A and B are shown apart, each in its own frame.
Chain A
Amino acid sequence: MQKLADFKLPQFFNYPPYFTLQPVRDTREKQIQLWKELILDYCKSQKTFLICVEEDFPLFSNSAIDRSLSHEAKETFLSAIVGEGRAEWLDKGHRKCLILWHRIQDWADIILQFVRDNGLEDSVMTVEEIRSGTESHGTELQGIDRTILMRALKLLENKGKLALFKGTSADDEGVKFSV
């Protein structure tokens, strides 16, 4: 079966109707679910956090069968994922979609685990260090989308697990853990 980068595509990726938004309700429901699963799986494996509807996204076209999703189809499928809480539109025009292949809550748990694993319970780190510092190499946090990271951190802040504070410039936002 085909691969996109190192991602193994399922057989039905070559099924032409998969790329046409189905008008019949029950058929469309199933189609939407299949696209949701596929998009989330793919984004997780490629660590893709953002899909821009107007740009080419490798998953949205299949050159082997010469088919690609229409704009309406892309919006329908992405909106369905947003509706289930696994994605968010970043703009009103629905052009940029943030993909939460881990939910914010899941990310928060991962951060806590990261803190424990590295003995950072009472330490201070910058936000940037969390996502690109040496400790994060090889972990899921490496390269995490900044917006998502901030949300997870805010969630933990509300639970009293840490405190966020501003540094001298925007890049220097810091975190004090009190896990």
Chain B
Amino acid sequence: MASGSSIGVGGLFVNAEVTTSGRPVLRRNEVECFLLSSVDFDSEDDPPRFTALKSGNLILTTHRLIWIPSEPNGAVPSSIPLAAVTHIFSHKKSIKSMFHSPRIRFQADPGSIVVTIVFRGKGDFDCFLTKFWECWRGRAWDEEDKSETETSRSGGSATVAQGLYGNDGTVRMVGLAGILRKEQEQWESTDKSLQDAFQDLNALMSKAKEMVSLAEKMRQKLLSAPSSQNSSTDDEEMGSKEEMQQWMLSVGIISPVTKESAGALYHQELSRQLADFVRIPLEQAGGMISLTDMYYHFNRARGTELISPDDLWQACTLWEKFDVPVMLRKFDSGVMVIQNKSHSDEEVMSRIRMLVTKTEALRAGVTASDAALTLKIAPAMAKEHLLTAETKGLLCRDMSPDGLRFYFNLFPEIDLTNLHIVKDFGTYGEWVKATSILSV
């Protein structure tokens, strides 16, 4: 394997950018359409016109064919722009081809090089081929409107039997053949209106994509807007700015990974996409966010093609296998959270300690809501932290008709040999002082 470079003669392949999780960085209007694993790019010419790319993931988008090595083996993620493809050879099925891995040949510039894609993995090869044709014909890079004619599905209408049409083009409804023909015609018209409806849907989808990219632009503007000079200290303005930001955040994803486009690699790719997405909500939530909250954020951003809770959970558990900076964590109570690997329990514990040793908290304890307000985290998270602090012996609990409260744990400071002693130093003394304000 040639180390480092897979650029062939005349620059057929272009290096493809990837994120830290190994996902391709997409261009402005680029949408992913299909994903297959265990794919090779070969040159069947002799001598080969370019260095073969072996064993990678193939991602088909509206603009490119992207190849990402599945193992770090020195190969560089590469892509071929669909605009460079000049011809796709038709795929002939034969007895011979049944025993080989399926392959597609196409021709690309510069140099009219013939490239063979070999599919060694499992995956819907026929679906890929269809999508390949669609994307290539779609010419998204021309930024033409996706007109109805471009997305014509191959073989939509059934072939019309000749001979039953009259000279003026209308059908002759005669006899049994006429009845059959009538039914056929009805079926065809239904099919046609379905097609029309789907063209509209495709048009809608492309509009939706425009909306999402518009939102993305606005979000960028908001994030970089300097709020200093003419700040008439409008708290209201800041508030609504934050709201805008939230809303923008929620429409952040342009090209969702779907089961259809990723097939067997669905969970892996979802896992990577999730790792990228998770970063911002995690920061906003203070380093730890419950799985259910993430389910809400992620699906809201995806808009359509929602993922199931199980898919989300699967995607998180896969993080162990990749080198991503986030992890899934399960508390004793069963609550599952996503947290930054760098998030430390120690830091939270010291903040809780500060909270419960304040005079008021010494006297009356803290509830989960109190802690949530002070620590600026979700109440469910606050409760988990309080429970963890209790397990560590920092806090103890007080259960009453008023609810569950937590106090700084004074038990270790109380002397068993002399129950009445209160040392001058220590929190026990502080507590006595704090409560004596009340006692008569």
Cβ contact within 8 Å between B407 and A17: yes
Chain A residues bordering chain B, tally (CB within 8 A): 26
Select B398's contact among A1, A16, A34, beta carbons within 8 Å.
A16
Closest-by-CB residue of A relative to B410 is A15
Q: Check if B393 is an interface residue, CB within 8 A of chain A.
A: yes
Complex interface: chain B residues within 8 A of A67 (CB): 398, 400
A126: chain B residues at CB < 8 Å are none
Known pairs A11-B432, A15-B407, A16-B405; A34 contacts B419 (CB<8 A): yes
B116 to chain A, nearest CB (A): 66
- The minimal Cβ–Cβ distance linking B303 to chain A, given in whole angstroms, is 44
Cβ proximity bits A8-24 to B, threshold 8 Å, 1 near / 0 not: 10111011110110111
Contact status B365-A16, CB under 8 Å? yes
Q: Say whether, besides A12-B410, A16-B407, A17-B407, A37 and B416 are in contact (CB < 8 Å).
A: yes
How far is it, in angstroms, between the C-alpha of A115 and the C-alpha of B421 when the chains are bound?
Answer: 38
CB of B16 within 8 A of chain A?
A: no
Least CB distance from A101 to B in Å reads 15
Q: With an 8 A cutoff between CB atoms, is A84 at the interface?
A: no
Q: How far is the CB of B434 from chain A (nearest CB, A)?
A: 11
B208 at the interface (CB under 8 A from A): no
Report if A24-B396 is in contact (Cβ < 8 Å); known contacts: A15-B410, A17-B407.
Answer: yes
Which A residues touch B422, using CB under 8 A? 11
B369, CB-defined interface residue at 8 Å: no
**Contact status B399-A34, CB under 8 Å:** no
Task: Decide if B435 is an interface residue (CB 8 Å cutoff).
Answer: yes
Give, as a whole number of angstroms, the nearest-CB distance from B361 to chain A: 12
Q: Encode contact with A along B376-411: 1 for CB under 8 Å, 0 otherwise.
A: 000000000000001101001111100001010111
Cβ contacts under 8 Å, A31 to chain B: 411
CB of B313 within 8 A of chain A? no
Please encode chain A, from 55 to 94, with 1 for each CB lying within 8 Å of some chain B CB and 0 for all others: 0000000001011000000000000000000000000000
A138, B336: Cα distance in complex, Å: 65
CB distance from A22 to the nearest CB of B (A): 6
Size of interface on B: residues with Cβ below 8 Å to A: 25
Contacts of A1 in B (CB 8 A): 420
CB-defined contacts of B18 to chain A, threshold 8 Å = none
Chain B residues whose C-beta falls within 8 Å of the C-beta of A146 in the assembled complex: none
Interface centre among A17, A24, A64 (most CB of B within 10 A): A17
Determine the distance from Cα of A48 to Cα of B439 in the docked complex, in whole angstroms.
Answer: 29
- With both chains docked as a complex, state the minimum distance between the C-beta of B331 and any C-beta of chain A, in angstroms: 15
Given contacts A15-B410, A17-B407, A34-B414, contact A24 B420 (CB under 8 A): no
Decide if B412 is an interface residue (CB 8 Å cutoff): yes
A24-B419 in contact given A14-B435, A17-B407 (Cβ < 8 Å): no
**Cβ-based interface call for A27 (8 A):** yes
A41 in the interface, Cβ–Cβ < 8 Å?
A: yes
B398 contacts across to A, CB distance below 8 A: 16-17, 19-20, 67
Which chain A residue shows the least CB distance to B409?
A27
Complex Cα spacing A24 to B411, Å: 12
When C-beta atoms are compared, the residue in chain A nearest to B391 turns out to be A24
CB neighbours (8 Å) of B390 from chain A are 23-24, 27
A22 to B395, alpha carbons, bound, how many Å?
Answer: 10
Does residue A6 face the partner (Cβ distance < 8 Å to B)?
Answer: no
- Is the CB of A26 closer than 8 A to any CB of chain B? yes
Q: Determine if B431 is an interface residue (Cβ-Cβ < 8 Å).
A: yes
Q: Smallest CB-CB separation from B399: which chain A residue? A: A20
- A110, CB-defined interface residue at 8 Å: no
Contacts of B416 in A (CB 8 A): 30, 33-34, 37
Say how far B426's CB is from chain A's closest CB, in angstroms.
12
Complex Cα–Cα for A37 and B397 (A): 21
A31–B400 Cα distance when bound, in Å, is 17
Asked whether any CB of chain B lies closer than 8 Å to the CB of A38, the reply is yes
* Contact digits for B416-430, partner A, Cβ 8 Å, 1 yes 0 no: 100110100000100
Cβ 8 A contact of A27, one of B400, B411, B431, B439: B411
* In the complex, chain A residues whose CB is within 8 Å of the CB of B397: 17, 20, 22-23
Residue contact B420 to A8, C-beta cutoff 8 Å: yes
Residues of B within 8 A of A12 (CB): 410, 414, 419, 428
CB neighbours (8 Å) of B393 from chain A are: 24, 26-27
Who on chain A is nearest to B419 by CB?
Answer: A10
B396 and A17 contacting across the interface, CB-CB below 8 Å = yes
Of all chain B residues, the one with the shortest Cβ separation from A21 is B399
Interchain CA distance A67-B401 in the complex, whole Å: 9
The answer to whether residues A37 and B411 also contact, given A20-B399, A24-B391 and a CB cut-off of 8 A, is: no
Contact B407 A37 (CB under 8 A): no
Residues from chain A with a CB closer than 8 A to the CB of B399 are: 20
For the complex, give the distance between the alpha carbons of A64 and B440 in Å. Answer: 11
Q: List 14 A-B contacts (CB under 8 A).
A: A11-B428, A12-B414, A15-B407, A15-B410, A16-B407, A17-B396, A20-B399, A22-B411, A27-B390, A30-B412, A30-B414, A34-B419, A66-B400, A67-B398
Residues on A facing B (Cβ under 8 Å): 1, 8, 10-12, 14-17, 19-20, 22-24, 26-27, 30-31, 33-34, 37-38, 41, 64, 66-67
Per CB-CB distance, the 3 closest pairs between chain A and chain B, nearest first, are A16-B398, A10-B419, A30-B411
Beyond contacts A12-B428, A17-B397: 12 other A-B pairs, Cβ-Cβ < 8 A, are A11-B422, A16-B400, A16-B407, A17-B410, A20-B400, A22-B397, A23-B397, A30-B411, A30-B414, A34-B411, A67-B398, A67-B400
